[in-house]
């Protein structure tokens, strides 16, 4: 149905164009035949890691082979640190799953999976052995989805890195976003330590893959013990997280509790979001400074 609507709209656009009538008829005929045959998708993927293993990201670009029109672009950062090869496999999997979703909207005739990692392509082709257990699991997942969704309708193709610039840029964009998130979480942890006088250990991270700083500023230690802070937090309705289970959500709740306490001491309303509480306190802090 989508193909028919798209073809009709394209035909209307061609009829109103400045092309000669013969050219318009040839173009319209090509569109109709394309919709009838289905589309050939090019799925270009790239994955990267900064640290190997380290913060990792994936980039995927899906194009129509005949017109080179971009149908979808994906930039995805991976939650846990990955090696470069693991990120490449994840990018391939994301690309294949994107093609599966597009197959529900378009009549996909064929899929060509393109990547600049010869290791990944040769392993998926069965020419090279997969010796890593982790890569073996990812290899099995990509192969299973390809076989189940596009049996007899897919091709694997290795091409040079300079031809994969769009997917590479999306992977780097994801890694930049990932590193920015880690930096933000680290600052939250440091502020929490300063506020409540406790040294946050490396195991107390917002998520499994967001490393806390190895050392905290000297002022973070010795102000008041966590045990003293716990009853005050309980009165504010914030549960103290046990060691090793401090999450980003709980950190934000602890920081909001601090802002609410400060507003209460200054006779201000404690209702609202953390940003609203900060906005309420900002004029008073500026004035006192």
Q: Which residues contact 73 (CB under 8 A, 6 or more apart)?
A: 59, 60, 61, 62, 166, 170
Which pair of structure tokens corresponds to residue 46?
A: 């790239």
Q: Pick from 164, 156, 94: which is nearest to 126 by CA? A: 156
Span 128-137, pLDDT tens digits: 999 999 999 9
Give 161's pLDDT tier (boundaries 50, 70, 90).
confident
Q: What is the pLDDT of residues 30-60, one digit of tens each?
A: 444 444 468 999 999 999 999 889 999 999 9
Cα–Cα distance measured from residue 231 to residue 275, given in angstroms and rounded to the nearest whole number: 25
Claim: this prediction has a pTM higher than 0.85? no
Reported as a single tens digit per residue, the pLDDT across 80-133 is 899 999 999 999 999 999 999 999 888 899 999 999 999 999 999 999 999 999
What's the confidence (pLDDT) of residue 181?
A: 73
Please state, in angstroms and rounded to a whole number, the distance separating the CA atoms of residues 225 and 234: 15
pLDDT, tens digit (0-9, with 9 covering 90-100), for 13-24: 333 334 444 444
């Amino acid at each position: 149905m989508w193909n028919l609507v798209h073809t009709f709209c394209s035909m209307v656009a061609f009829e109103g164009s400045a092309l000669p009538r013969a050219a318009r008829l040839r173009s319209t005929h090509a569109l109709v035949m394309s919709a009838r045959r289905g589309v050939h998708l090019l799925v270009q993927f790239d994955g990267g890691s900064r640290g190997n293993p380290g913060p990792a990201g994936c980039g995927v670009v899906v194009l129509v082979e005949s017109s080179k029109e971009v149908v979808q672009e994906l930039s995805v950062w991976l939650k846990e640190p990955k090696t470069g090869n693991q990120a490449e496999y994840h990018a391939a999997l994301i690309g294949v799953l994107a093609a599966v979703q597009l197959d529900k909207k378009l009549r996909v005739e064929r899929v060509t999976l393109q990547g600049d990692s010869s290791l990944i392509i040769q392993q998926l082709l069965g020419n090279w052995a997969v010796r890593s257990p982790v890569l073996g699991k990812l290899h099995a997942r990509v192969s299973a989805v390809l076989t189940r969704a596009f049996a007899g309708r897919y091709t694997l193709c290795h091409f040079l890195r300079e031809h994969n610039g769009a997917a590479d840029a999306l992977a780097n964009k994801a890694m930049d976003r990932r590193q920015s998130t880690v930096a933000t979480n680290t600052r939250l942890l440091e502020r929490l330590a300063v506020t409540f006088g406790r040294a946050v250990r490396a195991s107390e991270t917002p998520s499994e893959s967001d490393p806390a700083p190895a050392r905290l500023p000297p002022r973070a230690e010795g102000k008041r013990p966590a045990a003293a802070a716990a009853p005050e937090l309980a009165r504010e309705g914030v549960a103290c997280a046990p060691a090793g289970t401090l999450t980003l959500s709980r950190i934000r709740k602890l920081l909001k509790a601090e802002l609410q306490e400060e507003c209460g001491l200054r006779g201000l309303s404690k209702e609202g979001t953390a940003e609203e509480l900060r906005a309420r306190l900002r004029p008073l802090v500026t004035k006192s400074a």
